[in-house]
Amino acid sequence: MKTIYQQLTLATCEIARLAGKFMADERRSFDSSKIETKGLHDLVSYVDKESEKQIIEQLQNLLPESGFIAEEGTNSKQGERYNWVIDPLDGTTNYIQGVPVYAVSIGLLEDEELVLGVVYEVGRDECFYAWKNGGAYLNGQSIHVSDRGDIHDALLATGFPYNDFSKLEVYMEILKWTMTHARGVRRLGSAATDLAYVACGRFDAFWEYDLKPWDVAAGAVIVKEAGGTVTDYKGESDFLFGREIVASNGLIEKLILSKIKEYNT
């Protein structure tokens, strides 16, 4: 018998897929004149806004009492118990430029606990999802984090600072260390995708600062349910609203956190 979390997750997968189809269809005739700037190097398109409206409308039908924490702010209703955390298009710059790495990210908070997450990576038609105590999945198949415990064998992911450069020098020191010790470092331009790739073992760890709740909520659930770990830079649990995150297979977490701490002091 399906749990309520499982039912909600599978329904959310379909909502994310519909949003992804809308994005892919719009990309074929994308109107670049409708791009707006929210801040330095922080772009938004009509596709982001319309996708968010569509997602919220369907989530309201799915769970009428819920509220929303959504990137574009098209609905700011607060739920007493449930709140969806939504990035309708994670990787907007990639989308605008025609780089096929962008995703729909939808997580659900029950009180203060993340209980489900869905990341639909549109370009590869891959839907990653998980719910509380239910495991993690990719297009119906169970997934798990990698078992690589040696940093020299690890492929890492990060996100470059793009408008908050207050920690740039520290970031560059950490990047230098990872580049000279890991197998490789990648920057895809979509934190939701990075987290999903940690969950399925393509990446062994991911770190970034200045992220918002909607960037990480869904992916964090998937990583945890896939057997991985998710923390802030202090190794604690304030990654959702604390604007810094380290997600890993759990085997190289302590090493990465130690280097972040070393360069931040």
Query: What are phi and psi for residue 35, nearest 5 degrees?
Result: -75, 135
Q: What is the Cα–Cα distance from 122 to 124, expressed in whole angstroms?
A: 6
**For the structural domain made of 4-143, what CATH number should be given?**
3.30.540.10
Q: What is the pLDDT of residue 167?
A: 81
Series of mean pLDDT values for 10-residue runs along the chain (265 residues): 89 98 86 62 69 95 94 79 96 90 97 97 97 98 98 96 79 94 97 98 96 97 98 96 96 96 84
Q: What is the pLDDT of residue 70?
A: 86
Q: What is the pLDDT of residue 42?
A: 47
Q: 182-185 long-range contacts, Cβ below 8 Å, gap at least 24?
A: 182/151, 182/152, 182/154, 182/155, 182/156, 183/152, 183/153, 183/154, 183/155, 184/155, 184/156, 185/155, 185/156, 185/157, 185/158
Q: Are 114 and 23 in contact (CB under 8 A)?
A: no
Give helix then strand counts, H and E, for the chain. 7, 14
Rg, Å, the chain Cα set: 17
Strands 36-39 and 42-44 come out as antiparallel
Q: Are 187 and 160 in contact (CB under 8 A)?
A: yes
Q: What is the pLDDT of residue 187?
A: 96
The 3-state DSSP composition of the chain as helix, strand, coil percent (nearest 5) reads: 40, 25, 35
Q: What is the pLDDT of residue 166?
A: 80
Residues 170, 172, 177, 183, CA torsion sign? positive
Using DSSP's 3-state secondary structure scheme, residue 16 falls into: helix
Using DSSP's 3-state secondary structure scheme, residue 221 falls into: helix
CA torsion, points 93, 47, 5, 224, in degrees to nearest 10? 0
How does DSSP classify residue 178?
A: H
Q: What is the Cα–Cα distance from 93 to 82, expressed in whole angstroms?
A: 30
Query: Where along the chain do the CATH 3.40.190.80 domains lie?
Result: 151-264
pTM, rounded to two decimals: 0.94
Query: Where along the chain do the CATH 3.30.540.10 domains lie?
Result: 4-143
**For the structural domain made of 151-264, what CATH number should be given?**
3.40.190.80
Find where tokens 């000279």 sit: 180
